[in-house]
Amino acid sequence: MKRIGIDIDGVIADSQTVIIRKLNQHFGKNYNLADFVNLRPVKMFGLNRKQLDKFIMTKELEIIQETVPIPGAVETLIRLIENHELHLVTARSPLYSGQTEAWLKKYGIPYSRIRLLGQHDKRGACLELGVDLFIEDNKKNALQIISCGIPVLLMNATYNQGTLPGMVTRVFNWDEIKQYIESRGTVPLDSPGQPPIL
């Protein structure tokens, strides 16, 4: 049995779709997912990145309640928990722990433990939980996590493009995640012995 750390938003929950909808509604725009490959918040919404992040935070509860699982997530997690511990580690505010747990229950998403950190640095939680692998969508978070010697599967997204170091493996869906874990015993070893590149 391995311990797998898993982010929620962008990995289990299709949060980006809801965020785009919220932005379009508020600013009277009609952008789609492809428009976010090279995000230009000033040109698109008249906001700098910090203001955009603040807007998203004000909509956090609505995003939690309105999002749906990414295709394949529920089925794969149900299968994985038969042989592994699943530790959900999210940057969501602890204020929304009840709503988050209700959402997980609503969609039948299994987990062993859950941590709502209220911030993005997950290194401490990963080390405390002793995870062997982490599934993440935020590239900066992934680079922090591999600095602890923990390999990361990075769920592909418009906002995490670019080259990746050896301990981070890009995946495109939950089928790939399942196949990777089942075929490699949880831990991706594309570059054995190679130190993380930060």
Six token digits for residue 185: 């015993």
> Residue 38: its pLDDT value, please?
78
Helix (H) or strand (E) run with residue 98 in it:
helix 97-106
What value does the mean pLDDT take over residues 56-79?
96
Q: What is the residue whose two structure tokens read 């591999």?
A: 146
- Domain segments of the chain: what residues? 3-14+68-184, 16-66
Q: Is 3 helix (H, G, I), strand (E, B) or coil?
A: strand
Report pLDDT for 185: 58
Task: Identify the helix (H) or strand (E) that includes residue 100.
Answer: helix 97-106
For 3-14+68-184, CATH number out of 3.40.50.1000, 3.60.20.10, 3.30.565.10, 2.60.120.1440 equals 3.40.50.1000
Confidence (pLDDT) at 193:
34
Residue 195 has pLDDT above 70, yes or no: no
Q: Is the pLDDT of residue 126 over 90?
A: yes
Question: Which amino acid, 160?
Answer: N
Average of pLDDT values for 80-84? 95
pTM of the model: 0.89
Dihedral in degrees, nearest 10, Cα atoms 108, 109, 112, 115: -120
Q: What is the mean pLDDT of residues 76-92?
A: 96
pLDDT score of 197: 32
| Lowest-pLDDT range of 42-51, 69-78, 110-119, 177-186 | 177-186
Strand partners, 85: 3
Task: Tell whether the model's pLDDT for residue 189 goes beyond 70.
Answer: no
According to the model, what pLDDT value does residue 1 have? 72
Q: Check whether 187 has a pLDDT greater than 90.
A: no
Long-range contacts at 62-67 (CB < 8 A, ≥ 24 apart): 62/18, 62/22, 63/9, 63/15, 63/18, 63/19, 63/22, 64/13, 64/92, 64/96, 64/99, 64/100, 64/103, 65/99, 65/103, 66/18, 67/9, 67/13, 67/14, 67/15, 67/17, 67/18, 67/103
Cross-strand bridge partners of residue 125: none
pLDDT at 80 over 60: yes
**DSSP code string of 118-146:** SSS--HHHHHHHT-SEEEES-HHHHHHHH
Burial class for 141, CB neighbours closer than 10 Å (0-12, 13-18, 19+)? buried
Rounded distance between C-alpha atoms, residue 12 and residue 109, angstroms: 9
User: Taking all residues of the chain, what is their mean pLDDT, rounded to a whole number?
Assistant: 91
pLDDT value at position 39?
84
pLDDT score of 192 more than 50: no
* Side-chain-side CA neighbours of residue 70 (13 Å): 23
Give pLDDT tens digits for 134-184.
999 999 999 999 999 999 999 999 999 999 999 999 999 999 999 999 887
Check residue 121 and give its pLDDT. 95
Percent of the residues in the chain that have a pLDDT greater than 90, as a whole number: 85
